[in-house]
Chains A and B, each alone.
Chain A
Amino acid sequence: MHALQDYERKRGRALTDAEIEICVQSWSDHCYHTTWKSLGLLRQLMAATAKIDHPEVVSVFRDNAGGIALNEDWVVTIKGETHNFPSSIAPFGGVATKHGGVIRDSIGFGRGGYPIGGSTIMGTMDPRVPPAEVPQGALHPAYILRESIRATAYYCNPMGIPMMYSLYRAHPGYPKCLALGHSVGLIPRRYAQKETPRPGDVALLIGGATGRDGLHGATASSAEMAAETRTKEAAAVQIGHPITERKFMEAVPVLRDAGCIRSITDLGAGGLSCAAGEMGEATGVFLDLDRVPLKDASLTAWEILLSESQERMLLAVPPEKLAEALNILARYDVMAAEVGRFTGDRRYRAVWRGETVVDLEMDFLWGACPIEEAEVRPPLRQASPTPPPPAFSELPKYVKAVLAHYHCCDQSAAGFQFDSTVQGRTVIGPYGGRTGRMPTNAFVCAPIRGQSIGVVSTVAFNPFYGEVDPAGLARLAVLEAVAKAVAVGADPSCLALCDNFYTPRSTPEVNWALCQMVEAIADLSVALGMPFISGKDSSSGTMQTADGKVINVPLTLVVATLGRIPDVTRLVTKPFRRPGDQLILLGDLWPDKLGGSVYLDTLGTRGDLLHDAGPEWAAGRLALFRRLFELYQRPQNPVLAASAIGEGGLLLRLFEMAYGGGMGAEIDLMAIGGRWDGILFAEAVGAFIVEIEAQEDPATLFAGLPWRRIGRVVEEEALSFSYGPERVKIPLAELVAAWEATFPPLIA
């Protein structure tokens, strides 16, 4: 506010409505990331990426997405975008536009990309929560869950972009939900860098018309959610229209290849005001708001500028290419309007009905936002002890409880509603195995038709770990996502990362946790040589209920990978392959480190120790990743099946591998030793279950690495566990029944 008043005094005139709105939007946390800036966090991540200086990284942080080289001719990009606020108050519209927005980031990469993969990741309260326990002003999580699935199908299927993975997780802190979507894109390498618009270039607005929908999305989403937010900010949420976006998704590569695009960006938060301001930052821009196609003629200047109506992109078109661009857009039935020009005066100007409604210096818009010092203070540690192990004979009960847990259960009833094979590039979709329902934990496609070079993407999201240790959460998120990619065959020397943070409103304690998390991932990324190339933070995960309670989201960090696979005909999948094969645990498993596990959640506690041993240990996992990759490159890959351990521990992956292959396993828990529940359920992130032939010698294959032979594959469809003299056998059918029963009723 003071910055604006100072500026008014200096200019000798009052700012117009439109000017004030532009500044407020551009400086909101959503657009300007004020919390992160004041803590220097983004700088820290960017410094880590700069330090890695990865030769295959093409674009980092600056563009709409980050990119790595696939080969000499092609670049793949990734972006993750949260849409938490609108999805919490109007889930259908919020989730649909989440997808629409992040897809536009792929299209708006470089000088125009093409989306080849998407994701949906939702964190809500437990959908089974009694209605009375849902805070006033929040929607019931079952409603958010169902509407989000409907919205993802509604938006993503018509877009014709394969679904890479869908994840649904729960935590009591999510009345203001997490709604995250990723988009992976493909672009020719020669178009991967944007150019700066030149004076005289046409500002061409393409796509849908502009309406009163989606006003103040950026500012509303940056604020705390309160009981009355749903009614007060209703106009900030919109319903997307995928066909409008599909049309320009098809037209943009044609425009690009014809040389019609100097620069391109999507209209997201802050609408035309932000897009034109960002694109014209170096040159200046002049907008004639009367030329913007409107849904509603009564819109005023600031509403036209600020509207966040969906499915719009802004292009800088060289003037001599304008006629050709308009012709191409007409062929593809895309509406286009010349709404202004890029200038050379470094000013942001707009006219409307004959009046100048905006006249600001770019330096002021992008340089004057006041950033307050953020205080940092470690919170009091709240550890809850781990209960002692139950009797081994009770194993089946606990195993079934973990398989039935919301985070581990069969979620394919949602996943099967999203097209995973469109575009004809999919090699490994989200589900596989004998019944087609086993989660694969990875998406692999062969983006260049007829060539065997592949792209892999994986994700890790855990809402529990942050309660135990923020830095541990951050390390495990990176390791889990990377291990999942390496398990199928990703080259660890060519993996890039994408981070999405969602944290409560800034307090000294939250700031401390954020610093811990960012430092941990920055350090680990440098140690692994895997750069963060794209990311987004949302620091508004706080809700104020009608009765004055404050509900904070759990510390949330979702890490996704984007990597290269040299040859997709040599992938390794999860299902067991042949009875008699040996099962090897590769990596560390500490049965006492049960903190944050699904198992402890089923017991109603969080525990006090994550399955983590600090930065050096985490960095040391690289040796495992490299060895697996090396083995996979042999003419005869000795690894027949592999999976990366995560949520649900050793048990969940053993179950999935058995179910996927239609076989069973005999496991000797004493090969690992320690408390039996910890062996099965500790979430040993960074470790793998590996299947090798009976005559292979693991001591040679895995020399120098931590490994143990834990059992063998058997024909009978059952899992048996021995623990010293004791033995328990559970038919797979019983486990499947527990695993598949949880999710379908929640969305029926």
Chain B
Amino acid sequence: MTPKLGILYAPGTNCHEETAFAVEYAGGRPAILLLDEVIARPRLILDYAALIIPGGFSYGDHLAAGRIFAVRFVHHLAEILREFLAGGRPILGICNGDQILMETGLLPAGTIGERHGALTRNRSARFEDRWVALAAAEETFWTAGLVGRPLRLPSAHGEGRLVVAPGDGLRVAFHYVDEKGRPTEAYPANPSGSPGGIAGIYDPGGLVLGLMPHPERAVLPVHGSQDGLGIFANLVRFCTGA
């Protein structure tokens, strides 16, 4: 059966359409869900095998990137999200979605409502629009078949530098890598200056993935790279239970 994947939209979200296309192209059935309507009927999300929070500037990102979305998420949906994750259903946050997951506390520690870090201003103090090379740190259901080679993806954000409280263990999902495939802090291969070259992380259980670059923009041959498709294909496969 084709799994249904929910893609959350709030005012300011601007990558939902291409994310929906990527899900569909990878064999899933996408549905764009307005956050307000999910808040009005929280159990709606249990109709979906996975949730994706796409990129954008939710609510303008004026207080901090992803802050308002995250506050609403935690305030209205904390309980249903625990139920969702307890059922083994994954959540993927891309760019602004990654920032939102950090703001909710789901990343890095899986503590909803309790923040343990943030994605903050790039070291260049600029929005950085660039192609980057990533390497998967370990093989999980997200990265099956993607380990051991560089993945080329577009990256476009102003706030992607990971800052976490000292002492917290991190489960790194992806690193920015240099030409030799080594994790790098060097600009511009690592456009945000994220420490250790971290470009994406999991929660401790590995069901939640936050990623700053944009796999949904590298799906078709004409995009110049199809390396993003693998991540969506893996997610759809996981949701199918295969």
Contact = CB atoms under 8 A, between A and B. Distances in A.
Contacts of A569: 221-222
A145 to B, nearest CB: 15
Given A243-B59, A452-B222, A423 B127 contact: no
Interface stretch (B10-18, B70-78, B105-113): B10-18
B130 interface: yes
Interface stretch (A152-160, A293-301, A725-733): A152-160
Contacts of B216: 424
B223 A424 contact: yes
A57 to B, nearest CB: 26
Contact of A246 (B14, B18, B55, B158): B14
A450 B156 contact: no
B21 interface: yes
Interface in B90-131: 126-131
A157 B217 contact: no
B214 interface: yes
Contact of A449 (B21, B34, B188): B21
A577 to B, nearest CB: 16
A232 interface: no
Contact of B130 (A242, A423, A436): A436
Contacts of A247: 11-12
A426 B220 contact: no
Given A416-B130, A418-B129, A446-B222, A424 B11 contact: no
B132 to A, nearest CB: 10
B121 to A, nearest CB: 13
A247 B34 CA distance: 12
Given A450-B21, A569-B222, A424 B217 contact: yes
Nearest to B21: A449
B57 A421 contact: no
B83 interface: no
Given A246-B14, A422-B156, A436 B131 contact: yes
Contacts of B22: 424
A160 B214 CA distance: 13
A425 B219 CA distance: 10
Contacts of B61: 158
A420 B224 CA distance: 13
Nearest to B10: A333
Contacts of A352: none
B21 A421 contact: no
Contacts of B188: 416
A243 B59 CA distance: 7
Nearest to A568: B222
A418 B158 CA distance: 10
A157 B130 contact: no
A424 B126 contact: no
Interface in B205-224: 214, 216-217, 219-224
A568 B220 CA distance: 11
A153 B127 contact: yes
A671 interface: no
Contacts of B129: 163, 415-421
A608 to B, nearest CB: 42
A427 to B, nearest CB: 5
B238 interface: no
Contacts of A331: 34, 36-37
**Max chain A Cβ within 10 angstroms of own Cβ: one of B14, B15, B56, B59:** B14
Interface string A367-393: 000000000000000000000000000
B214 A421 contact: yes
A332 interface: yes
Contacts of B222: 427, 446, 452, 568-569
Contacts of A419: 127, 129, 156
Nearest to A425: B18
B181 interface: no
Nearest to B25: A450
Q: How large is the interface on B (under 10, 10 to 19, 20 to 34, 35 or more residues)?
A: 35 or more
Contact of B12 (A158, A426, A449, A568): A158
A450 B17 contact: no
A459 B158 CA distance: 28
A456 to B, nearest CB: 13
Given A157-B57, A247-B11, A332-B11, A424 B128 contact: no
Interface in A403-454: 415-427, 436, 446, 449-450, 452
B177 to A, nearest CB: 15
Contacts of B88: none
B183 interface: no
Given A419-B156, A427-B222, A160 B127 contact: no
Nearest to B56: A160
A165 to B, nearest CB: 13
Interface string B29-59: 0000010110000000000000000011101
Contacts of B130: 416, 436
A421 B215 CA distance: 11
B60 interface: yes
Contacts of A417: 126-129
Interface in B178-229: 188, 214, 216-217, 219-224
A726 B226 CA distance: 48
B223 A157 contact: no
A446 B220 CA distance: 10
B28 interface: no
B14 A421 contact: no
Contacts of A163: 129
A452 B222 CA distance: 8
A246 B223 contact: no
Contacts of A158: 12, 14, 56-57, 60-61
Contacts of A246: 11-12, 14, 57
A568 B156 CA distance: 23
A282 B188 CA distance: 56
B150 interface: no
Contacts of A426: 217, 223
Contact of A450 (B55, B127, B220): B220
Contact of B217 (A243, A333, A422, A568): A422
A424 B228 CA distance: 11
Contact of B14 (A153, A418, A422, A452): A422
Contacts of B219: 424
A234 to B, nearest CB: 24
Nearest to B228: A424
A436 B133 CA distance: 12
A159 B128 contact: no
11 contacts: A157-B127, A158-B14, A159-B14, A242-B57, A416-B188, A422-B15, A424-B21, A424-B219, A424-B223, A449-B21, A452-B222
Interface of B: 11-12, 14-15, 17-18, 21-22, 25, 34, 36-37, 55-57, 59-61, 126-131, 154, 156, 158, 188, 214, 216-217, 219-224
Interface of A: 153, 157-160, 163, 241-243, 246-247, 331-333, 415-427, 436, 446, 449-450, 452, 568-569
Given A242-B60, A421-B217, 4 more contacts: A246-B12, A333-B36, A427-B222, A569-B222
Leading 8 A-B pairs by shortest Cβ distance:
A160-B14, A424-B18, A243-B60, A421-B154, A158-B57, A419-B156, A421-B217, A333-B11
